[in-house]
Amino acid sequence: MKNIMTAPFMVEMIRTATNMYAHGWDERNGGNISMLLDEAELKEYLAIPAIVRTIPTGFTAPELDGKYFLVTGTGKYFKNVQYDPAKNLGIVRLAENGTEAEVLWGFSDGGKFTSEFPAHMKSHIARMKTDPENRVVMHCHPSNLLAMTYVHELDEKAFTRTLWQMCTECIIVFPDGVNVLPWMLCGTNEIGEATAEKMKTARLVVWAQHGIYGAGRDLDETFGLIETAEKAAEIYMKIAHLPRVNTITDEQMHLLEERFGVKAREGYLD
């Protein structure tokens, strides 16, 4: 059996969590990540089944029965992941129609998965129906995107177009745009279901006055989506109070579509 700390998925998860904390996106115990694991690869590092304990999930997700996830723990600080992965991360398998999570590794102090687990799992289901290769759901609190929800209308088309206009690469990186939820109580099935519904049409979902959810095929793609949107929001917050002399026009964005082989979300460009 190989050392699980050398597994590519573990190395990337640790590196990503550390980088997210360094970016200032995950203060204290804020933020969470979940990654769908390949069973064949996982068997190289863990004896399966080897259930340490079982935790009720508080929701149903029959579509995910038998699926394995590497997930951050509730109340855990991203800054500590690199120093004690087994305490701050866990590998779980969903069972009993998704109502139970079987802990196979990690959460060594008796902890459990993030309180946002319902939102993560429901988002995984939604994204995999749209893109079967989707593997990652990531939640964090980037300062400028959060600030933008206080001063910008929350209409999804308007919010997306503003971000697209801030950086040339935005429409290339997230042509599907950004969906937005008004403030909702976090850690509930309700916000999980609302986020999953938004995930059907976009890989980025902003939680107003809270943060953002991103989804992608791997950790790099998902991190890059959020990073690009946050950079655009930073530029917007620097210029929002100033008269707009120049911008990226819809005509120019159509040129970017053609040049880079992307298609902007239907109806979002003139």
Which are the catalytic amino acids?
Answer: 116
Q: What is the 3-class SS of the chain, one letter each residue?
A: CCCHHHCHHHHHHHHHHHHHHHCCCCCCCCCEEEEEECHHHHCCCCCCCCCCEEEECCCCCHHHCCCEEEEEECCCCHHHCCCCHHHHEEEEEEECCCCEEEEEEECCCCCCECCCHHHHHHHHHHHHHHCCCCCEEEEECCHHHHHHHHHCCCCHHHHHHHHHHHCCCHHHHCCCCEEEECCCCCCCHHHHHHHHHHHCCCCEEEECCCEEEEEECCHHHHHHHHHHHHHHHHHHHHHCCCCCCCCCCHHHHHHHHHHHCCCCCCCCCC
Q: Given the DSSP bridges, would you call strands 211-216 and 204-207 parallel, antiparallel or unpaired?
A: antiparallel
Distance CA 1, CA 14 (A): 21
Beta bridge partners of 90: 71, 106
